[in-house]
Copies of this chain bind each other. A is one copy, B any other.
Amino acid sequence: MSDQVAPTDTLYAVADFCLIPMGLPVPSVGPQIAECQRVLEKSGLEYKVGACGERGYGTNIEGPWDAVMTVIGECHRAVHAMGTPRIATDIRIGTRTDKSISSGGNDGKVKRVEEILASRS
C-alpha cells in the first residue's frame, strides 16, 4: 500500500537526538559526546551539535531514514567500545511528503518562525 512513498533507504528524515551514557562513575559525558561527533563527521551526513536540556548529548542530523538511523547506531557502538555498559538515546525524527525538506530542514523552520513573529509585531 505504501509503494508510492519512498522506501526507507531514500525517505528523507530530519532528526534530533540525545545520547545518554549510563553506568559511568562521573556525571560528565564530554569524551563520549566527542567520540559520537567523530562518528557523525565520518558519516558525511549533515549534522549540527546542539544541547537538549541537561541531557548527555543533543544533535540534529538529516538524510535518508536508514542512513540517519545507522549513524546513530554507530554512535552507540563507538560509545560502548569506550567502556560504557549502557546507553539510552532519545530520537525525535520527522518525515513529510507534502514538500521537500532535503534542503533547509531544521534551519528553514527557525527562519520561518522568525518571519511570522516579525510580521506581527
Contacts and interface: CB of A to CB of B under 8 A. Distances in A.
Contact residues of A: prevailing secondary structure = mixed
Task: Output the residue of A69, A70, A91, A93 with the most chain B CB within 10 A.
Answer: A93
Interface residues on A, range: 35 or more
Contacts of A80: 2, 5, 95, 97
Given A50-B110, A53-B15, A110-B50, A74 B27 contact: no
A89 to B, nearest CB: 5
Interface of A: 1-8, 11, 13-16, 18, 20-31, 33-34, 37-38, 49-56, 58, 60, 65-66, 69-70, 73-74, 76-78, 80-82, 84-98, 101, 105-107, 109-110, 112-114, 116-117, 120
